[in-house]
Amino acid sequence: MSIYATLWRLKFPRYGDDHTGCDWVDVIAQGVPAHIGTPTPGFGYEDGDPYAAFLPPPVVILSEEDEQTLRAVVFIVAGTPKGTERSHQEYVSPLLVLTGQEYATVSFGELHERICDALRGGKPRLVAEVWGPDGTVQLMSEDGGVKEIPSPRNGKRT
């Protein structure tokens, strides 16, 4: 049985920046309910939290309302393998892991930016796309780099 519940699935640019001809991937938000690993007696984790090594700290459940919160939200690219030496429940390379509280309070704009940053993986952010009169397309990054991509007018894809 999985400790995760799928919250949503959205398409994001594969490398964090939307531009002509970019590829897209499905990013999935996986919620971990508050009772998973809780130290609160009666939930089955009296001997310890088996997920402490890869999830944010567990939630102490003091009321029924606490049970409705999330311990964590793990963001993955669809197809990311699950199961490591440490735990069969751990994703091999999640994009981002937030506490339930962080997820509940982050704006969509900030969340989108954090996911795109993770997809970009340390590469410079795309700041401009320039179309030449001959149909050439140049992508300009924040570090001053310029990359020419095939024109979509010629039916080519990058």
pLDDT of residue 94: 97
**Angle at Cα 72 formed by Cα 36 and Cα 26, nearest 5°?**
120
Give the number of other Cβ atoms within 10 Å of residue 7's Cβ.
Answer: 14
Residue 154 DSSP SS3:
helix
Sheet arrangement for strand 96-99 = 5-13, 24-33, 70-77, 96-99
Please check whether residue 21 is in contact with residue 158, taking contact to mean a CB–CB distance below 8 angstroms: yes
Q: What is the CA radius of gyration of the chain?
A: 20
Entry pTM: 0.88
Please check whether residue 87 is in contact with residue 94, taking contact to mean a CB–CB distance below 8 angstroms: no
Residue 50, exposed/middle/buried by CB under 10 A (0-12, 13-18, 19+)? middle
Could you report the average pLDDT of every consecutive run of 10 residues in the chain (158 residues)?
94 95 96 96 94 95 88 97 94 97 97 98 94 90 92 57
Domain parsing of the chain, residue ranges: 5-123, 124-158
